[in-house]
Chains A and B, each alone.
Chain A
Amino acid sequence: MKEIRWLKRHVAVPALLAALVTIGAIGMDIYSRKDAEVIELKDLTGNRSELADIRIKGEYTDGYHTTSFQIGDGKVAKSTKLRAQPVAEQPYRYNPGMPKRIGEFEYEVMDIQPTIKIRVRKMNSTGPYASIILNAAASASDPSTVGTTTTHYANVQEYGLTVGNGKLYFTLPITRAYKGSTGIYEWNLDDLRFKRVAEESPLEARTVAEWPLVSEQENPGEAMDVIGLEAVGNSLALVAMQGDKLVVRGYDSASGKVSGEARIAMSGTPIAGERAQAGKPAIEARLNESYQAFSDPEAGTLTLAFHESSDPVGEWGMKIYSFDLSSGVKLVNETRVVYPDQLKSDTFFGYTSMAYRNGKLYMAQLLWDRRDLESDQTFTFSQPRIFLIDVYRNNEHRYEGELKSDMNQDMNQDYARISNPANLDYQFRTFNHVSFQSASREEQP
């Protein structure tokens, strides 16, 4: 009895201490496990020394934490940060119908004839947006659709939009049938006013460059289909089709002067390499206008990747062109990459990053991996994924490595059921923001 009374009197302080120590110890144990996230580079083909002259930086992330990694000197360095609040973040690639995301904003181009309205909004928010009205759009018109509610464009309007050095640039993706004049317009991102209510606040555009249009009837060789606009450092690249040629015209983004032009014949491009050797018939590489553009301002290069619209059964390919815009416009590299259908590229949740520098094309891709039929799932969301790093030099595949991680384990619970794509943003680890930089630049991961 006496002992129990003694215990009752003296147990409180030890109990409090024991509780605090338990909470602290478990907390520290859990927190220290953040460094146990696995990211390893595994060589598949070629020699890792191909990566020696660059530093690959990127993020391995889900909605709750982000592991920043850096591959330099063939080694992977990483550090993990936990988010205070879950964020729905996806690797993003533009798909027609979605707003185009660049940096911290997302952009939507709306065609309200005769004006064009660009809506800008902070990424991942339902908050206020800024509207930009472009009246200059009225200066170019397609005679065949005048007076109707139809408009024809050579590509989705968002392809005509790009951001460089804190400025927004836009050109209309007009077809060769247009008459009048067109141009490249510029706005300062700092001037944007974000408002809760839809309120017209016309922001004056600066005209970077303007040129009269030559229609198809007048001069069939000169008429162009504008399929996009890309910014590379202080240059702008207008991507267009002229007849059967791909035209990349460089503009100085300050003066608007044409710095140069590169033309590539597209149709009838013979397919070299493995396919020809395998005795398969060479087909024409017809290109899809929904290309992906990768700008490397540090190296002054622009890389355009076109998905081929007709592929032989069992394969898919991309035609990748790199241009040097540092002085004039030069086509510096042309590479064709081919993958088996079992390695699927995904236009929605996939991720691709490319850069051309040091005479090599570097490529990082997140692909659905269906090579192992045992793990093949009905629903794409539960299929395993693979993150590949490739190096090409002069159309020759020099290196392929896999960045190994535990991301596919996040699919375990979804083997038997249709996963909810809404959860993809939070629960599924993925790779994002991968960039290729010079190895000499000193930076911490």
Chain B
Amino acid sequence: MRREVLYFAKLLAVLTAFLILIASELLAIRLGYGYTVDRMVLAGQEGPMANGLFLAFLRCDFFRLLLPFSFSRMLSTAALLLAATTGAYYAALCERSRCWLGLTAAAVAFAAILRVIGYRLGESVGSAVYRAEGLYPSSILLLALSAGFIWHGIVLYKKGAIA
């Protein structure tokens, strides 16, 4: 019991780090937009676009990766976050306990994460071939891998196999 708590505590620490990263990026976008708009207004330039921040979040693939507004995309972002967190932690555990098969699974998760991110950063140009539902299988895969990482991570913890 004690060891599981320890595992989740460490996992939460990594997850917190990722969430702080996203929050600071959103904050930087928000403050950066306000700063630029104020400068444009002060310089008397032709004004910024009406509702520009909203349009930026809508039209920029990277912004929509950070802050999605539809269920399939929110699920995808959450799955990416969870898989990256558990995967990175699990890879470290496997390396310590010399569980090389586990490292392969982490590598599969890493490859899947890269593919999903690549897909989502190209949605604006690829919509003729992409389907809106196209992200559910990858989200389910990433969530299943995360669950596996958590389960096996706890097993490794309990075995005390970590040097």
Contact = CB atoms under 8 A, between A and B. Distances in A.
Q: For the side of the interface on B, what is the size category?
A: 20 to 34
B37 to A, nearest CB: 13
B30 A26 contact: yes
A410 B58 CA distance: 13
Nearest to A422: B125
Given A12-B16, A84-B73, A86-B124, A406 B50 contact: yes
B23 A33 contact: no
B115 to A, nearest CB: 16
Given A23-B19, A26-B30, A30-B67, A126 B128 contact: yes
A63 B124 contact: yes
A426 B58 CA distance: 11
Given A16-B16, A88-B128, A426-B59, A34 B123 contact: no
B27 to A, nearest CB: 6
Interface in B18-69: 19-20, 22-23, 26-27, 30, 46, 49-51, 53-54, 57-59, 67, 69
B127 A26 contact: no
Nearest to A31: B69
B59 A427 contact: yes
B123 A86 contact: yes
Contacts of B101: none
A377 to B, nearest CB: 15
Contacts of B123: 85-86
Nearest to A34: B54
A38 interface: yes
Q: For the side of the interface on A, what is the size category?
A: 35 or more
Contact of A16 (B19, B26, B53): B19
A22 B26 contact: yes
B53 A125 contact: no
B138 interface: no
A126 B22 contact: no
A29 B53 CA distance: 10
A82 B20 contact: no
A163 to B, nearest CB: 23
A187 to B, nearest CB: 27
Given A31-B69, A86-B127, A23 B22 contact: yes
Given A12-B16, A85-B127, A87-B127, A406 B51 contact: yes
Nearest to A22: B23
Given A12-B12, A22-B23, A33-B53, A84 B70 contact: yes
A37 interface: yes
A31 B67 CA distance: 10
A4 interface: no
B13 interface: yes
Contact of B16 (A19, A37, A64): A19
B129 interface: yes
A427 B124 CA distance: 9
A109 to B, nearest CB: 23
B132 A84 contact: yes
Given A64-B58, A82-B69, A86-B127, A30 B19 contact: no
A409 B49 contact: yes
A426 B57 CA distance: 14
Interface of A: 12, 15-16, 18-20, 22-23, 26-27, 29-31, 33-34, 36-38, 62-65, 82-88, 124-126, 406, 409-410, 412, 426-427
Given A64-B58, A87-B127, 18 more contacts: A12-B13, A16-B16, A16-B19, A19-B19, A19-B23, A30-B53, A33-B51, A33-B54, A36-B50, A36-B51, A36-B54, A62-B59, A84-B72, A85-B130, A85-B131, A126-B129, A406-B51, A409-B49
